[in-house]
Structure 1
Amino acid sequence: MSRIGFLGLGIMGKAMALNLVNAGFEVTVWNRNRQKCEELVAHGATFGDSPKAVAQACDITFAMVADPEAALAICQGPNGVAAGIGAGRGYVDMSTVDDKTSGTIADLIHHAGGRFLEAPVSGTKKPAEDGTLVILAAGDESLYQEALPALNVMGKMAPYLGGVGQGANMKLVVNMIMGGMLNIFSEGMALGQKSGLEGQAILDVLAAGAMANPMFNIKGKMCLEENYDTSFPLKHMQKDLRLALALGDRLEQPLPTAAATNEAFKQAKKSGYAEEDIAAAHKVNR
């Protein structure tokens, strides 16, 4: 069984790394805040003192960090992944970044002699805990095959989508659609409740028809209870919408609905809800 590294132990990464430990993988972990490594170490993981040290010690190193800037930062510099990856070892970036950033990271890893796979995930905290994420892999196919046992522990589906950039693009498409769905759902809930309809009645009707989906059930309950405990931080959704719009600009693809959704999430972020769950977008609609 491959020696596995895992960089980034936030809401998603902690659950994903713990699943790997519990599945019997030999896992070395690193996080910018060292305290977040303690629970994983208590469950049997090894602590690595830098991304470089983890990449040097492991056959395949996974990363799950917040944004393109963080994804680049852990790869660059004297203590970065590229400095330790070495010939033949693999690096799998599971962060949500744009295709250009993913390409830059791929170049850094390839130049250092390593292999690269991007593998952003579709799913939030609960699927990460349950190991039911959808993992969107693209890049080195040999690394994909070697990483598949670990990917199958973290997710219920891990398709191979082709060259570097295609996983990133798929993730932006998925999250752009998700953000748009959540925004119109929130507006509909607000309109219905202000017209005198019961919120639960709206959810029941939606659940019985063609628009039934888990997100409306889960986020609808959060909105009714005004409980916005973070599963997917609102600031990260706004970042993903921004990246999707930038991709649309490069491809000259009009995205008017996504642009309006991005403005709604920017307003929610400006209103102080950045660290709360994406469902907190409802606060600016109600």
Structure 2
Amino acid sequence: MSTDAKGAAEGAEKKPSIGWLGLGIMGTAMTRNLLKAGYDVTVWNRTLSKAEGMVQEGARLGKTPAQVVRDCDITFAMLADPAAALSAALGEDGAVAGVSAGKGYVDVSTVDGDTARQIAEAVRKAGGQFLEAPVSGSKKPAEDGTLIFLTAGDKALFDRASAAFDVMGKAKFFLGDVGQGANMKLVVNMVMGSMLASFSEGLLLGQAAGLSPETILEVVLLGAINAPLYSMKGPTMLKGSYSPAFPLKHQQKDLRLALELAEAVGQPLPVAAAANALYEKAREAGLGDQDFSAVLEALKQRRGKDGA
């Protein structure tokens, strides 16, 4: 074997086996990128059919979170909310039941700091290493491998998982103690949700005053207030198309968690509180499973007309 070939083979051998818990919009895309990069991936999902789809793409099937952790070097979890994250980690046959010395558990779910610390404590008590790693980015960045990882916890696990992060994302930050990754993600999503609520109000105000929504969007995109969020969401919002890249129910959950964090640290968030109330109305209107840009429809309903 040539020196180059031997080096390549040794590099391949060093790749950790990866477990993945949770195959929603984000988890499926991230797992697919790991498979394409040559990782040995074992998947688990509460709804079996989603896991079977990834098996057809080359993944192994895990029967329980505990079994996935036992079979893999590093296990990632991408769950919908704190309750789901806690259930997958600490429930019957949960991930912690499979943890032993040398195992790594990376929770990329968006949860609050207390939830992250609770899972971290259980993983470490079982002899494993823990890293929280929520991401900035939704469906398209997940598909493109351009997510931003906001991590905190065991630095040694950050180093071990670094190559996998690079496959799934364009940047990674290590922020210190467990809880800081969750805090950073809540800050980011709080700003994002508030921005889109304000943008929706601008579109409807302009329309009510007789302006073309297409022209409003064009002016916004050319000015100082332009942001990638507006260029990404604006065209589909004008069409009334809300295929979920980031479901509205999750955006509202993150705003709620941000407000809980604000209360804990004594920081008033009047704008975020108003945005959260609007997203709550959108959920009550049955828009929770639509993209979070469907908050525009909640505003239309409050006007009592279709906004056309």
- Cα distance per residue 1:148-193 (max 9 Å; x no partner): 0001111111111111000000000000000110000000000011
SS in structure 2 at match of 1:158: strand
Query: 2:252 matched to 1:256?
Result: no
Q: Which of 179, 187, 210 pairs up with 1:196?
A: 210
How far does residue 200 in structure 1 lie from its aligned partner after superposition?
1.2
Q: What amino acid maps onto 2:270 in structure 1?
A: P
Report what 1:276 is aligned to. 290
Report what 2:228 is aligned to. 214
Q: What amino acid maps onto 1:263 in structure 2?
A: A
Stretches of structure 1 lacking an aligned partner (at least 5 in a row): none
Q: What amino acid maps onto 2:276 in structure 1?
A: N
Q: Which of 146, 167, 177 pairs up with 1:132?
A: 146
Query: 2:85 matched to 1:71?
Result: yes
Report what 1:19 is aligned to. 33
Q: Between Structure 1 and Structure 2, how many residues are aligned?
A: 286
Report what 2:168 is aligned to. 154
Q: Which of 222, 242, 246 pairs up with 1:232?
A: 246
SS in structure 1 at match of 2:286: helix
SS in structure 2 at match of 1:104: helix
Report what 2:122 is aligned to. 108
Report what 1:39 is aligned to. 53
CA RMSD of aligned residues (A): 0.7
Q: What amino acid maps onto 1:149 in structure 2?
A: A
Q: Which of 253, 256, 260 pairs up with 1:246?
A: 260
CA distance in 2 between counterparts of 1:209 and 1:160 reads: 33
How far does residue 4 in structure 1 lie from its aligned partner after superposition?
0.3
Q: What amino acid maps onto 1:265 in structure 2?
A: Y
Q: What amino acid maps onto 1:68 in structure 2?
A: P
CA distance in 1 between counterparts of 2:78 and 2:93 reads: 17
Q: Which of 170, 174, 187 pairs up with 2:184?
A: 170
- Cα distance per residue 1:99-132 (max 9 Å; x no partner): 0000000011011111000000111111110010
Query: 2:72 matched to 1:55?
Result: no
Q: What amino acid maps onto 2:269 in structure 1?
A: L
Q: What amino acid maps onto 1:76 in structure 2?
A: L
Kindly report which structure 2 residues correspond to 1:90-109, keeping only aligned pairs within 5 A, or say none.
90-109=104-123
CA distance in 1 between counterparts of 2:284 and 2:77 reads: 29
CA distance in 2 between counterparts of 1:285 and 1:34 reads: 37
Tell me the TM-score normalised to structure 1 length: 0.99
How far does residue 77 in structure 1 lie from its aligned partner after superposition?
3.2
Q: What amino acid maps onto 1:231 in structure 2?
A: A
SS in structure 2 at match of 1:285: helix
Q: Which of 181, 191, 194 pairs up with 2:195?
A: 181
How far does residue 214 in structure 1 lie from its aligned partner after superposition?
1.5
CA distance in 2 between counterparts of 1:172 and 1:117 reads: 17
Q: What amino acid maps onto 1:155 in structure 2?
A: G
CA distance in 1 between counterparts of 2:16 and 2:126 reads: 20
Tell me the TM-score normalised to structure 2 length: 0.92
The structure whose Rg is larger is 2
CA distance in 1 between counterparts of 2:242 and 2:208 reads: 21
Percent identical residues: 54
CA distance in 2 between counterparts of 1:261 and 1:239 reads: 12
Query: Mean Cα displacement is larger for which, 71-80 or 95-104?
Result: 71-80
Q: What amino acid maps onto 2:234 in structure 1?
A: G
